C-alpha cells in the first residue's frame, strides 16, 4: 500500500526545510542558466511551486518572513551603497520627474479603476492605488552582475523607485493613521517631524559612527558586521517612525556610500 505523501506536507522538520531551500538555491540558477532566463525568475517560480498555493511542500512561517525581509533590506541597502552619487546630483531633476511619474501614473489609473469600475470605498481605493504605485529593486542584483549599477539609466531608475516607494509609504501611513487617532493636521505634523528627525539624525550620527569604526578597526569581517548593524538600525528606526524598513536601509546605503570605497575588501564582502 502506497502511503499518502501529502499527509506529510507541508514539511515541518527544520532540517528538511533547510535542505529543500538549499536545493532550490542550488538548482534554480542552474536550470534557469541553461534556459538563459535570469536566476531570480527561477527563485520566484520555485517559491510558487513549493508554496502553499502550489505543491504545499513548505509553509510560509516566521523564518521565511524574516529572511525575505532581510533580503529586501539588503537589496535596497546595496542599491544606495553602489549608487553613483555624482550622477544622482547631476540628474536630480530627471530623477525627481521620473519618480513622480512612476508614482502618479499607476496611482491615478488604479484609483480611477478601483473607484469607477470596482466601486471600492475611498480607503480601499487608496490602499490598492498605493500598492500599484510602489515598486522595489528586485531585479537590481541582475544589473549588478553585469556591472551596470553606475550607468545613468540605472541611477535614474533607482532614484525614481525610492521616490515612488516613499510616496506610497506616506499614503499607507495616512491610511493606517486614519484607523487610529485620525490622519488630521496633528498626525501629519508629527509624522513629518519624525521623518525630519530621522533624516537629520542619520546624517549626523551614521557618518561619525562609520568614520570612527572603520578607522579604528581594519578587520574586514568586523567591518562587515558593523555595516550590517548600521543597516538594520536604520531600518528599525525607519519602521518605528511609520515608514517601512526598506527606506531606512536605502538611506543607510546612501550615507555609507562615500565611506566605503568601491574597490576594497569590505565592498567585496558586501
What are the tens digits of pLDDT across the range 141-186? 777 777 777 777 887 887 888 788 778 877 877 777 666 555 567 7
Do 146 and 197 fall within a single domain? yes
From 36, 60, 84, the end of a domain falls on: 60
* Residue % of the chain over a pLDDT of 90: 2
pLDDT for 184? 66
Phi-psi region of 36 (alpha: psi -120 to 50; beta: other; left: phi over 0): left
Residue-level pLDDT at 183: 58
Domain count within the chain: 2
Label residue 2 by pLDDT band (50, 70, 90): very low
Are 82 and 37 found together in one domain?
Answer: no
What is the per-residue pLDDT for 179? 67
Report pLDDT digits (tens) over 192-212. Answer: 888 888 888 888 888 888 888
Domain limits for position 35: 1-60
Is the model's pLDDT at 4 over the cut of 60? no
Length of the chain: 270
Given this model, what pLDDT does residue 99 score?
Answer: 85
Q: Rounded to a whole number, what is the distance in angstroms from the first to the last CA of the chain?
A: 52
What CATH number corresponds to the domain at position 239?
1.20.1530.20
Q: What is the DSSP letter of 7?
A: G
Long-range own/partner contacts, residues 188-195 (CB < 8 A, 24 or more apart)? 191/241, 191/242, 194/241, 194/242, 195/241, 195/243
Q: Which of 58, 134, 71, 141 minimizes the C-alpha distance to 102? A: 134
Determine the Cα–Cα distance for residues 46 and 41; give it in Å rounded to an integer: 8
Q: What is the pTM of this model?
A: 0.73
Same domain, 138 and 78: yes
* Residue 180 and residue 76 share a domain: yes
| Shared domain check, 13 and 120 | no
For residue 50, give the nearest of 22, 15, 29 by alpha carbon: 22
pLDDT greater than 70 at residue 110 = yes
The percent of residues in the chain predicted with pLDDT above 70, rounded, is: 93
Kindly report the average pLDDT of the chain as a whole number: 81
Q: 82 and 52 in one domain?
A: no
pLDDT 10s digits, 13-41: 888 888 888 888 888 888 888 887 777 77
Same domain, 44 and 143: no
Q: Which contiguous run of DSSP H or E holds residue 253?
A: helix 245-256
Whether 22 and 41 share a structural domain = yes
Torsion angle defined by CA atoms of residues 85, 86, 92 and 95, in that order, rounded to the nearest 10 degrees: -50
Amino acid at each position: 500500500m502506497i502511503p499518502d505523501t501529502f499527509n506529510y506536507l507541508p514539511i515541518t522538520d527544520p532540517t528538511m526545510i533547510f535542505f529543500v531551500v538549499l536545493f532550490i538555491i542550488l538548482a534554480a540558477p542552474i536550470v534557469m542558466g541553461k534556459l538563459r532566463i535570469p536566476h531570480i525568475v527561477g527563485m520566484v517560480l520555485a517559491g510558487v511551486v513549493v508554496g502553499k498555493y502550489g505543491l504545499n511542500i513548505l509553509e510560509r512561517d516566521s523564518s521565511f518572513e524574516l529572511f525575505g525581509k532581510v533580503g529586501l533590506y539588503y537589496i535596497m541597502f546595496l542599491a544606495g551603497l553602489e549608487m553613483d552619487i555624482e550622477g544622482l546630483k547631476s540628474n536630480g531633476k530627471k530623477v525627481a520627474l521620473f519618480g513622480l511619474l512612476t508614482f502618479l501614473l499607476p496611482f491615478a489609473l488604479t484609483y480611477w479603476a478601483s473607484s469607477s469600475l470596482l466601486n471600492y470605498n475611498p480607503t480601499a481605493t487608496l490602499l490598492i492605488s498605493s500598492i500599484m504605485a510602489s515598486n522595489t529593486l528586485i531585479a537590481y542584483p541582475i544589473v549588478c552582475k553585469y556591472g551596470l549599477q553606475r550607468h545613468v539609466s540605472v541611477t535614474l531608475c533607482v532614484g525614481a523607485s525610492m521616490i515612488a516607494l516613499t510616496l506610497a509609504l506616506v499614503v499607507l501611513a495616512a491610511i493606517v493613521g486614519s484607523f487610529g487617532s485620525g490622519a488630521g493636521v496633528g498626525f501629519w505634523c508629527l509624522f513629518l517631524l519624525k521623518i525630519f528627525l530621522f533624516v537629520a539624525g542619520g546624517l549626523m550620527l551614521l557618518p561619525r559612527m562609520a568614520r570612527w569604526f572603520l578607522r579604528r578597526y581594519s578587520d574586514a569581517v568586523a567591518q562587515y558586521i558593523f555595516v550590517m548593524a548600521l543597516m538594520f538600525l536604520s531600518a528599525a528606526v525607519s519602521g518605528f517612525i511609520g515608514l517601512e524598513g526598506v527606506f531606512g536601509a536605502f538611506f543607510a546605503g546612501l550615507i555609507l556610500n562615500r565611506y566605503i570605497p568601491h574597490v576594497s575588501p569590505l565592498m567585496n564582502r558586501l
